[in-house]
Amino acid sequence: AYEGAQRLLPYADRPITKINVQGDLSYISQQAVQQRIAPYVAASFFTIDLAAMRSELEKMPWIAHAEVRRVWPDQVVIRLEQQLAVARWVNEALLNNQGEAFPPRGLAIYEHLPQLFGPQRAQQQVMQQYQVLSQMLRPMGFSIARLELRERGSWFLTTGAGSAGPGIELLLGRDHLVEKMRRFIAIYDKTLKEQITNIARIDLRYSNGLAVGWREQTAPPTDKPAVAKN
């Protein structure tokens, strides 16, 4: 049987004549994919290196995952999944929901996405924090327009303008971000909600309260920030 199979193999092992590319290709051209896999498709049906082809495709900036398989007798089917842009990273790249950076074709068309900042090594940490804080703020009608992790570990958040009012700055400090955000939510519902359009920033770097910075046109008579405590 083995010898028979060896004799029949040259007749069964046909050249690849068709490449079927599937998936949403909004940001990837068929031509770019064909050029990327050109060195591999010269092989025959049984000798084509599918693992190497998949690896080569996943090196393309907008491809998150590639699936490659043979279809008898002379076809290779490729299914591609594009990256999902969740946020802008500094002014140079986009981030997917895993906090992995990939280059855009042009940042101008992604200005609606939130902008995240931080040390290069902290991309995933900033994305994880963005997802947690965004989920906490969403029921209040807030979205995150900007989230920054500075070199010394302090976090700064700016909300986007929306149904809850104009954007405000939240100074979160270095640690216990979720606890501080819960405190903000509790005090916001009790005392700040009616004044939110007059608030420019809220400092949450206190152990049991927060300080409010008012917008200039409606600033209270005193120059000192108002302090609210639980």
- Residue 2's pLDDT is 53
Q: Closest by alpha carbon to 210, among 196, 191, 229?
A: 229
Q: Closest by alpha carbon to 127, among 147, 152, 150?
A: 147
What integer is the mean pLDDT of 86-100?
90
What integer is the mean pLDDT of 135-161?
93
- Residue 199's pLDDT is 92
What integer is the mean pLDDT of 26-49?
89
What integer is the mean pLDDT of 113-130?
94
Residue 124 has pLDDT above 60, yes or no: yes
Instruction: Report yes or no: 124 and 144 within 8 Å, Cβ to Cβ.
Output: no
Alpha helices for 86-225 (secondary structure H): 123-137, 177-187
Crossing angle (nearest 10°) for helices 123-137 and 177-187: 20
What integer is the mean pLDDT of 38-65?
91
Q: Which amino acid is at 154?
A: S
Residue 53 has pLDDT above 90, yes or no: yes
What is this structure's pTM? 0.74
- Residue 13's pLDDT is 76
- Residue 219's pLDDT is 47
- Residue 18's pLDDT is 92
Q: Which residues of 46-81 are buried (b: 16+ CB within 10 A; e: fewer)?
A: eebeeeebbebbeebebbbebebeeeeeeebebebe
Q: For residues 63 and 67, give the distance between their C-alpha atoms in angstroms, rounded to a whole number.
A: 11
* % of the chain exceeding 90 in pLDDT: 52
